[in-house]
Chains A and B, each alone.
Chain A
Amino acid sequence: MAGFISLMATSTKSSAIKRFLIGKPIPTSEDAHQRLSKKVALPVFASDAISSTAYATEEILIVFLSLGAVGMAAYSMLVPISLIVIALLTIVVISYRQTIFAYPNGGGSYIVSKENLGEYPGLVAGASLLIDYVLTVCVSVAGGVAAIISAFNGLAPHRVQICIGFVLLMMVANLRGLKESGALFAPPTYLYVLSLIALIVVGLYRVFVQHLPPIEHSGEAQHLLEMQGSVTAFYFLKAFSSGAVALTGVEAVSNGVPAFKKPESRNASTTLIWMAVILGSCFFGLSILAQHLQPVKDHEGKIPNTVLAQLAEQVYGGRNIFFYVTQFATFAILILAANTSYADFPRLSSLIAKDNYLPRQFSNRGDRLVFSNGVIFLSFASIGLLVAFKGQISALIPLYAVGVFTGFTLSQAGMVVHHYKHREAKWKVHMAINAVGSVTTFFVAGIFVVVKFTDGAWIPAILIPIMMIGFKGINRHYTRVRSFLLPSDDYVAPFHTHFVIVLVGSVNQGTMQAVRYAQSLRPDRLIAISVIEHAEDRQKIDEAWIKYNLSDVELQTITSEYRDLTEPILIRINELDAEYDDDLITVIIPEFVTSVRSQWLHNQSALAIKARLLFRPNTVVTSVPIVIP
């Protein structure tokens, strides 16, 4: 990934392309943190959580109608399930309020569980959150595109391409450094909340006062409604776990406490509660509306319109301006929700990289002060998943939320330990609250894994341990390198006998410059080596050596019976190396530097020798560049 960026910067021409796409570099000193008021912070941090109302109801219905085949019975289950989800939301929000007060500097699941529970739980939380951020991008983009497709059904065949387009767009926007600016986040989030409230109020009014009939279905949808299966506990739990995706993104506020205006914790906690109220009431309202209007959706995407679109169409009496506004607002908030991952994933990966569990490149900031490598990695991982799952949300949902609830569980468990250690006022009450939160979310995560194991929940269940092994491996390597390089108190760099070898192809200006350079190093021994193919070449090169006054340097000619250049040189270097125990060998290679166009005509053998010497201990390879204009 880093290679991609550095590749772009290799020549001035491609650097101009990068400049055009990414924008001009920002100096580090301008990295001021913008403080957000509650009204602005709400859209910034809540867009992820609130946006999940766009698909949570739909996912519950899909489980009952399409997988469980229970027909009309599905609608009677909507309200009970949404009540359970709201109860869960309440527990989680109350628990997270305490995290906000305990960690005013931002307490993500990774930090809280690493600090309180230790290394491994922290890494589990880190891994599951990283997976979830990727899935947030996938699910939200897929959901946003689904909203567009509901409005313009003709776009359905291009679903995956549109998704990829938006991911790439977000990648470029975030490489440019899209701040979590209120100006960008506020309008779509508030528009979505307003249009959702309007839909619910108008919808309930029309249902209960004007007696609006349920949506009329035909074809596949009608077929699904005629099913007569019974609601089993398995499908009930499965539907519940689908509905619980509404909770994803709740942790965002607690990650971003330092971004609030003072008093940070109080403002953050108020914002969290606003968010929970909006999220809970909208989810509940949509469930009641769906219960009466009976929208239908299947898991393979044969019915193109989303549940939200079907509701809007029925409530507003067709595809009018209100319908399109609702669809557009849905699309906009989902894209924003995806974008929050672009803030969280690079930040978390940089934290993990700073702790030496991920490659250092993840903690490098790019030209625009963003963690570019994290952004690029997130984009490509999301695109991979979107392609693999053909841009269908339902296919991605089982993978999703396992990580979120693992994160919840660990973070709350960490808080329990935190309270136990610090024993501040009323610590027993606080500990009990977090304990309830932790146990509840643990059970929910367990339910997810069990009921959705075959649908894809096995993927995170396997991926998280694999990532842990990866984290540990990377950490071991970094630790080993660091402890190896750490000088002891009496360490003195060892003395070496310096042996310099100049490789000579033919005698020319380049060779002469290289020899002069070699002499300036004042080595203990200096020789030039030339590999010759025919006996006559020896005489030619010896004569040229004398002619150009190089003869105060020893010139060794060696034969290459098999015309191979690299092997005889390496053998010779090995022989010379064996003569002394403490020697350091510098191999000097004259290299011609021409233009990008003709560079490949030169230095191919030099490249081969350099590649072979790269891993040789006590060997320095130096190129003496000879610039040919």
Chain B
Amino acid sequence: MGLKNMMKAANKGIRELDAERLVDKFIDLNLTPLGEVVVRTKVKVCGEVKRMTMKPRSGIPSMEIVINDGTGQVTVIFSGRRHIAGIEHGGCIAVEGVAYQERNNTVFLNPVYTLLPHGAE
């Protein structure tokens, strides 16, 4: 049995490993998992910053990031600014707001955010 599980663990992809790590990290916050976000309702979610996009200079300045908590990922857009101090790759934030669907992505536009400097603590 033990061996079988070990084999299973060894065969896990990097994606699954990372997802498990993130689920463990955020489980104590008791927020809505990103995989269960319902659009057009107010939710509070959190996740680790996985992608940051620098938008072209032309057009409206905005900051676009993707956060992931192991159950899913959402795009968070803060318009009107190019960067928010404290939001960096690998950092964690909690956001509270109403999400909408754009193509395959769930997007939060200008939500209330909280930096979680040390993950769940």
Instruction: Please list the residues of chain A having a beta carbon within 8 angstroms of any beta carbon in chain B.
Output: 532, 534-535, 538, 542, 545-546, 551-559, 561-562, 564, 567, 571-572, 575, 578-579
Residues of A within 8 A of B21 (CB): 561
CB-based contact A564/B54 at 8 Å: no
Residues of B within 8 A of A558 (CB): 50-51
Decide yes or no whether B42 CB sits under 8 A from chain A. no
Residues of A within 8 A of B104 (CB): 575, 578-579
Mark B40-67 against chain A: 1 for CB-CB distance below 8 A, else 0.
Answer: 0000000001111111111000000000
- Per the 8 Å Cβ criterion, residues 84-104 of B in contact with A are 88-91, 103-104
CB-based contact A562/B14 at 8 Å: yes
Most buried by A among B13, B55, B90: B90
CB-based contact B58/A535 at 8 Å: no
A576 — nearest CB in chain B belongs to which residue? B104
Decide yes or no whether B18 CB sits under 8 A from chain A. yes
Decide yes or no whether B8 CB sits under 8 A from chain A. no
Q: List 5 A-B contacts (CB under 8 A).
A: A535-B88, A535-B89, A556-B51, A559-B90, A567-B14
CB-based contact A555/B54 at 8 Å: yes
Decide yes or no whether B31 CB sits under 8 A from chain A. no
Known: A532-B89, A579-B104. A559 touches B17 (CB 8 A): no
* Min C-beta distance of B115 to chain A, whole Å: 13
Known: A557-B89, A559-B89, A578-B104. A551 touches B54 (CB 8 A): yes
CB-based contact A554/B53 at 8 Å: yes
Residues of B within 8 A of A571 (CB): 15
Residues of A within 8 A of B103 (CB): 579
* Min C-beta distance of A193 to chain B, whole Å: 71
> Measured between alpha carbons, how far is A583 from B68 in the docked complex, in Å?
26
Q: Which of B14, B50, B54, B90 contacts A554 (CB 8 A)?
A: B54
Interface size counted on chain B using CB atoms at 8 A: 22
CB-based contact A538/B17 at 8 Å: no
CB-based contact A535/B55 at 8 Å: no
Residues of A within 8 A of B13 (CB): 567
* Min C-beta distance of A297 to chain B, whole Å: 62
CB-based contact A561/B18 at 8 Å: yes
Residues of B within 8 A of A578 (CB): 104
Residues of B within 8 A of A552 (CB): 56-58
Q: Is the interface of A mostly helix, strand, loop or mixed?
A: mixed
B54 — nearest CB in chain A belongs to which residue? A555
Residues of B within 8 A of A532 (CB): 89
* Min C-beta distance of B17 to chain A, whole Å: 7
CB-based contact B53/A556 at 8 Å: yes
Residues of B within 8 A of A535 (CB): 88-91
> Measured between alpha carbons, how far is A31 from B97 in the docked complex, in Å?
79
Given contacts A535-B88, A552-B58, 4 further A-B pairs with CB under 8 A are A554-B54, A557-B51, A557-B54, A558-B50
A562 — nearest CB in chain B belongs to which residue? B14
Q: Which of B18, B49, B54 contacts A562 (CB 8 A)?
A: B18
Mark B4-47 against chain A: 1 for CB-CB distance below 8 A, else 0.
Answer: 00000000011101100100000000000000000000000000
Residues of A within 8 A of B58 (CB): 552
Residues of B within 8 A of A545 (CB): 54
Lowest 10 CB-CB distances: which A-B pairs, in order? Answer: A535-B88, A535-B89, A555-B54, A558-B51, A556-B53, A559-B89, A551-B57, A552-B56, A579-B103, A562-B14
CB-based contact A538/B52 at 8 Å: yes
Residues of A within 8 A of B54 (CB): 542, 545, 551, 554-557
> Measured between alpha carbons, how far is A555 from B53 in the docked complex, in Å?
6
> Measured between alpha carbons, how far is A120 from B58 in the docked complex, in Å?
69
* Min C-beta distance of A533 to chain B, whole Å: 9
Residues of A within 8 A of B52 (CB): 538, 556-557
* Min C-beta distance of A549 to chain B, whole Å: 9
* Min C-beta distance of B65 to chain A, whole Å: 10
Residues of A within 8 A of B17 (CB): 562
A526 — nearest CB in chain B belongs to which residue? B56
* Min C-beta distance of A558 to chain B, whole Å: 5
> Measured between alpha carbons, how far is A534 from B90 in the docked complex, in Å?
8
* Min C-beta distance of B19 to chain A, whole Å: 11
> Measured between alpha carbons, how far is A578 from B103 in the docked complex, in Å?
9
Residues of B within 8 A of A555 (CB): 53-54
> Measured between alpha carbons, how far is A554 from B52 in the docked complex, in Å?
10
Residues of A within 8 A of B49 (CB): 559
Residues of B within 8 A of A553 (CB): 56
Residues of B within 8 A of A579 (CB): 103-104
B13 — nearest CB in chain A belongs to which residue? A567
- Per the 8 Å Cβ criterion, residues 63-79 of B in contact with A are none
B21 — nearest CB in chain A belongs to which residue? A561
Residues of B within 8 A of A559 (CB): 49-51, 89-90
> Measured between alpha carbons, how far is A575 from B68 in the docked complex, in Å?
14
> Measured between alpha carbons, how far is A551 from B58 in the docked complex, in Å?
9
* Min C-beta distance of A359 to chain B, whole Å: 36
* Min C-beta distance of A565 to chain B, whole Å: 11
> Measured between alpha carbons, how far is A552 from B88 in the docked complex, in Å?
22
* Min C-beta distance of A284 to chain B, whole Å: 73
Q: Which of B14, B56, B88, B91 contacts A551 (CB 8 A)?
A: B56
CB-based contact B55/A554 at 8 Å: yes
Residues of A within 8 A of B88 (CB): 535, 538
Residues of A within 8 A of B91 (CB): 535
> Measured between alpha carbons, how far is A362 from B91 in the docked complex, in Å?
60
> Measured between alpha carbons, how far is A572 from B50 in the docked complex, in Å?
11
Known: A562-B17, A571-B15. A554 touches B56 (CB 8 A): yes
